[in-house]
Amino acid sequence: MNRKISIGVALAVMIIVVALTVSATMLIAMRQFNSQVTALGERQKMYNYLSEVDNAVQQNYFYKNIDSTVLRRGIARGYIAGTEDPYAQYLSPADYAVEAELLEGRAYGYGISVQEDADKQIRIVEVQPDSPAYSAGLLKNDIVIALDTIPLEADGLSKVVKKLSEVNATDTASMILKIKREETEIAVELSAATYNITSVESRMIDDIGYIRIKSFNAATDAQFKIAYTALTDAGATGIILDLRNNRGGLLASAQNMLSYLLSRGLYAYYSYNTGRIEMKSDEMSYSMSLPAVSLVNENTAGEAELVAAVLSQSVYTPMIGRHTAGRSFTQKYFPLTSDKSAVKISVAQMSLIDGSNWEDNGLRPAVDISLTEEKMARFDTLTDEEDTQLQTALNRLAGGSYNPKPTEPTEPTDVTGTTETGEEGTEPTDAAD
């Protein structure tokens, strides 16, 4: 058979291929052009609509001295509200400056948190290690009895909380706190300053390592690694990861933490409006080997839910607590250069390797156990004995009911759902081991 092809035939084939390529390219280009024209048309309609509103107001409004800055920010808030994104938000320059600092792991203020305890006392429940409060010698469990030399009464908690929150980086804010420590009364003067946030707390409870992760910022994953290593070096036989009241935060920090704990491979997806990205742990990962459980509740959201769900599926770390908040979308801040304000919008959705996500429905804990409203109201003042969710986790690890990771891989466990069963002190059939 003659396998030679004439130059004419070859040229014809090449011309056809080129023609098809050009046609396909033109078709794609036309579709993109039409899409852009439609988008431009819709934008023009919006601008015309705003122009009509502006003309009506400018020509007829009784008060002529409209503050243009206030007006622009009101338009921005209205635009964001019009997207119907439940997580979207317009942030003023001051609010965005605070949010940006928090995501970087810094804050401006005094560095303490207070809560009313069971005896109606205003108790300091947190002192940030790098903060002005720490430098002044304040300690967790100190009782606040006076603010700026004025003794506190029934409304004392609201006054202290207001004073703590009424600071920003342009202030030279200060206050005087009088506290009671055992039988001693001490007065300290605090000046607000910028400090590094400690978002991870850890300690040993008998032979079980306990790690509380309050949020995810740029420093959280590094703090977690230090805490986890310290507990394992101290001889921990199991780990409790407390993600209760963790509303999420920086996705990259949660990913770094998961990469540290998981063996190499795919563990979740991140879907944009134009495609999907695989979330993978890297080849240098640590791979958690100790038995562990995660504590979650109705305030566990977003990136914290991702961590709990992935650990439940990948290394068989069951969840204990309450059904989680149900936010699988992630948000991103977009600064507005004109005045340093910003808009926050949802840009992607997280999902597990089986394709499921926890939007609205939340995550279903393996052991559904609640805290009473009274205990939730003073969550940070609970003793270990009062915290029934923590006690359930300790008993589970100490009692040998933890199921070790199987030697053969299994199908991912379904951790999403809508079941809401169980009261405080109950332990339904475990469905997530």
pLDDT of residue 399: 63
Distance CA 35, CA 14 (A): 31
How would you class 388 by CB atoms within 10 Å of its CB: exposed for 0-12, middle for 13-18, buried for 19 or more? middle
Residue 256 vs residue 47, higher pLDDT: 256
As a whole-number percent, the residues of the chain with pLDDT over 90 amount to 62
| Residue found by looking up tokens 């948190």 in the block | 113
| Residue found by looking up tokens 């991912």 in the block | 412
Transcribe 72-132 into DSSP letters.
Answer: HHHHHHHHHHHTT-TT-EEE-HHHHHHHHHHHTTEEEE--EEEEE-TTS-EEEEEE-TTSH
pLDDT of residue 16: 62
pLDDT band at 15 (very low <50, low <70, confident <90, very high): low
CA dihedral 409, 415, 419, 422 (to 10 degrees): 80
Q: What are phi and psi of 74, to 5 degrees?
A: -65, -40
At 391 the three-state DSSP class reads helix
Distance CA 206, CA 398 (A): 10
Mean pLDDT of 257-272: 92
> Angle 252-255-260 (CA atoms, 0-180°, nearest 5)?
130
Selection from 332, 371, 284 nearest residue 100 by Cα:
332
Residue 378 vs residue 413, higher pLDDT: 378
Which neighbouring-strand residues pair with 321?
Answer: 296, 368
Q: Specify the DSSP class assigned to residue 402.
A: P
Average pLDDT value for the chain: 85
| Residue found by looking up tokens 């409004």 in the block | 61
Whether residue 418 is predicted with pLDDT greater than 60 in this model: the reply is: no
pLDDT band at 424 (very low <50, low <70, confident <90, very high): very low
Distance CA 89, CA 93 (A): 13
- Cβ atoms of 345 and 330 within 8 Å: the answer is no
- Cβ atoms of 250 and 197 within 8 Å: the answer is no
- Cβ atoms of 346 and 87 within 8 Å: the answer is yes
Whether residue 433 is predicted with pLDDT greater than 50 in this model: the reply is: no
Which neighbouring-strand residues pair with 240?
Answer: 210, 293
Distance CA 420, CA 52 (A): 50
- Cβ atoms of 314 and 262 within 8 Å: the answer is yes
Distance CA 246, CA 304 (A): 6
Distance CA 385, CA 210 (A): 14
Q: What is the pLDDT of residues 58-81, one digit of tens each?
A: 888 887 788 888 888 999 999 999
pLDDT of residue 274: 87
At residue 340, what is the residue type?
Answer: K
Selection from 289, 293, 292, 264 nearest residue 279 by Cα:
264
Q: How far is CA 337 from the centre of its chain?
A: 25
| Token pair listed for 404 | 């070790």
- Cβ atoms of 167 and 110 within 8 Å: the answer is yes
Least reliable range by pLDDT among 109-113, 172-176, 207-211: 172-176
| Token pair listed for 191 | 């000046």
Mean pLDDT of 115-137: 92
